[in-house]
């Protein structure tokens, strides 16, 4: 059975390109994954289809009202669903979380707009709050794309080569791979490292591992510490 993803937002059109190219297109074409858009505004009531209002207690900006969000979630929720709110106040996304979520049959992603959603939506309907990093974005839309692409790699059959997602750097979050080269062998006088042309697989492996370690220590001393 294909995995089912529902994306709830105010701008379904935001997602049309990222979901129709590359990995997510192939996953859907192979019937490994189905992604459906839900426009939260379709659950707004009244002539103006209002979805946001000023925060109680004061403060800047607007907050998404509970009614339309909760009704939108309930319109797709089943007993098997897991509901994720993409939130700057969520727990930080990592590879392990992506792998876990790839095992679920039905995921509901709620992308917030404005200053976020009414807390009662989170309390009543959300299972997990996830952030993609310590920086501020204008909405939960880009984080939803990031999360879905990161999860999709762990769905069996999506990458083609089954051990793909685990081989890559960050699968275990403790390694980098070595630098990569392709043809031409000489470019503007710059040569491809000799060892890669040697055909000596054991030396190549060892060289890549060393180069990856040097890079990790330089770029990500935080991860390097974990290794020791």
Least Å distance, CB 57 to ligand 21W, is 10
User: Alpha-carbon distance 154 to 114, whole Å?
Assistant: 31
Q: Which two tokens stand for residue 79?
A: 């007993």
Q: Which two tokens stand for residue 173?
A: 């979050």
Least Å distance, CB 137 to ligand 21W, is 4
Quick one: 137 or 196, whose CB is closer to ligand 21W?
Answer: 137
Which residues are designated catalytic?
Answer: 88, 115, 153, 168
Quick one: 97 or 209, whose CB is closer to ligand 21W?
Answer: 97
Secondary structure letter of residue 201 according to DSSP: H
Cis peptide before 184 (omega within 30 of 0): yes
Q: Where are the alpha helices (DSSP H) in the chain?
A: 16-19, 22-29, 66-76, 95-101, 119-125, 141-152, 164-167, 194-197, 201-219, 221-227
Least Å distance, CB 116 to ligand 21W, is 4
Query: Are the CB atoms for 107 and 63 separated by under 8 Å?
Result: no
Shortest CA distance to 144 belongs to which of 86, 197, 208, 76?
86
Quick one: 1 or 136, whose CB is closer to ligand 21W?
Answer: 136
Least Å distance, CB 105 to ligand 21W, is 23
Quick one: 39 or 211, whose CB is closer to ligand 21W?
Answer: 39
Instruction: Using CB under 6 A, list all residues that contact ligand 21W.
Output: 86-88, 112, 115-116, 131-133, 135-137, 139-140, 143
């Amino acid at each position: 059975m294909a995995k089912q993803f529902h994306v709830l937002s105010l701008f379904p059109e935001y997602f049309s390109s990222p979901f129709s190219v590359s990995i997510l297109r192939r996953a859907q074409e192979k019937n490994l994954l189905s992604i459906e858009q839900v426009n939260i505004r379709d659950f707004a009531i009244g002539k103006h289809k209002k979805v946001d209002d000023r925060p109680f207690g004061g403060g800047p900006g607007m907050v998404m009202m509970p009614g339309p969000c909760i009704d939108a979630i309930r319109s797709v929720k089943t007993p098997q669903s897991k509901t994720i709110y993409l939130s700057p106040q969520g727990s930080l996304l990592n590879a392990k979380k992506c792998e876990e979520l790839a095992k679920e049959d039905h995921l509901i992603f709620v992308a917030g707009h404005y200053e976020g959603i009414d807390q009662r939506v989170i309390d009543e309907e959300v299972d997990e709050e996830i952030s993609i990093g310590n920086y501020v974005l204008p909405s939960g839309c880009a984080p939803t794309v990031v999360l879905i692409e990161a999860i999709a790699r762990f769905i069996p059959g999506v990458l083609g080569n089954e051990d793909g997602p685990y081989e890559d750097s960050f699968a275990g979050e403790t390694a980098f791979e070595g630098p990569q080269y392709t043809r031409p062998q000489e470019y503007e006088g710059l040569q491809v490292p000799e060892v890669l042309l040697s055909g000596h697989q054991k030396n190549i492996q060892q060289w890549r591992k060393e180069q990856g370690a040097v890079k990790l220590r330089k770029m990500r001393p935080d991860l390097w510490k974990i290794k020791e």
